[in-house]
Structures are given as C-alpha cells and as structure tokens.
Amino acid sequence: MEPAAPLAPSLAALDSPRTRQQLRRPQRQPGDATTPVMVTRTIHRRPRWVVVVLWLLVLVYGVALAFIALWPTYVDVPARPMLDAITAEWPLLTYARIEFIANVLLFVPFGFLLTLILRRGHYVVLPAALVVSVAVEACQVLIDERVSSLLDVVANVTGACVGILLAALIRAARR
C-alpha cells in the first residue's frame, strides 16, 4: 500500500519564482486609499450616417441579387457574343469558369457588407451566405429556364468568404 500524498504543498513548490513574488507582494488592508487600476478598452462607435449608408448598400445589393438570381431567363444572354469572343481568345477561360467567377464576385459584397455591419456577430455571415445561396438555388428550381447547381452554392459561399477576408483586412489595417 502506498502512503497518501501530503495535503500541504512541497517546499520546492513554495520556492518557485512566482510564489516568491506572491509572498513579497504587500497585502491590501481594508480601508486603504489606493484603488486598483482597471484597464478598459475604448469602444469606438461609428457615426450614425455610416451605419445608414451600410444598410442602404445592403438593401441595394439585396434587390440587385434578387433580380439577378430570380430573373426568368439567363441574365448573361445579352453578353453572350462577348463571352463567346473571350472563350475563343482564351481557351482556358471556358463559359463554366466565367460563370463560377461571376458567382464568386456576386457574393463578395454579401460577405463584405455584413461583416462591416455585424462587428461582433461576424461569425454568422458565412452561415447566412450559405442559407441565402441555397434559398436562391431552391427558387431557381421553380423557374423553367434557370438551372440550379451545387457548384453555384460553392461559388457563392467562396465569394462571401472573400468579402469577409476583405473586411477583416480593412479592420486590421485601421488598427
């Protein structure tokens, strides 16, 4: 049978540098005139007009996104001759790649603006982008001439990630 461990700390533990500092620290007595120094962080509030402008931009972006995503025909039909010329000039830049890049760019403002607006709740931006993107693709299933694609969801969420990163870089540069 092994002996029970002592309840008191060993002398070696009491001899550590941190313990010696704690032992030398003067104890405060009740009624001392000194008060502890509190370190506070200043919370910078944005001007009201900045918040209003950001929300107006979100509103304009949301309306534009709804029109682009839910338009009954493909929105790139007028640009098809230009897209054909681009794909003929650069064979690696196929129509599918151009569409993927366009979907990424379409959701960059989503991630950027919501990250700027939701300073403390920025962690909900990416799930919100996923929900909005899946909702858009689900609505496109109901439109005869539109095609819903999982790759569009991936591109949209990637665009929101890029927007989040841009907003984070701007915040880091301002500090």
Separation between Cα atoms, residue 161 and residue 172, nearest integer Å: 16
For residue 109, being part of any structural domain is answered with yes
For residue 115, being part of any structural domain is answered with yes
Q: How many domains does the chain have?
A: 1
For residue 72, being part of any structural domain is answered with yes
- In this prediction, residue 171 carries a pLDDT of 86
For residue 30, being part of any structural domain is answered with no
pLDDT band at 147 (very low <50, low <70, confident <90, very high): confident
Q: Which of 31-45, 57-71, 77-91, 95-109 comes out lowest in average pLDDT?
A: 31-45
Compute the average pLDDT of residues 140-144: 89
- Long-range CB contact pairs, 47-56, < 8 A, 24+: 51/117, 54/113, 54/116, 54/117, 55/117
Who has greater pLDDT, 165 or 20? 165
For residue 52, being part of any structural domain is answered with yes
Who has greater pLDDT, 41 or 101? 101
For residue 10, being part of any structural domain is answered with no
* Helices within the chain (DSSP H only): 11-14, 17-24, 48-70, 80-89, 95-117, 125-141, 150-174
138: pLDDT strictly greater than 90 = yes
DSSP 41-77: -PPPPPPHHHHHHHHHHHHHHHHHHHHHHH-SS-TTS
Residue 76 sits in which domain range?
48-174
For residue 159, being part of any structural domain is answered with yes
Quote the DSSP letter at residue 126.
Answer: H
- In this prediction, residue 144 carries a pLDDT of 85
For residue 18, being part of any structural domain is answered with no
Separation between Cα atoms, residue 167 and residue 2, nearest integer Å: 61
CA distances from residue 58 to 53, 101, 136, 140, 154 in whole angstroms, order as listed: 9, 21, 17, 22, 21
What SS3 class is residue 79? coil
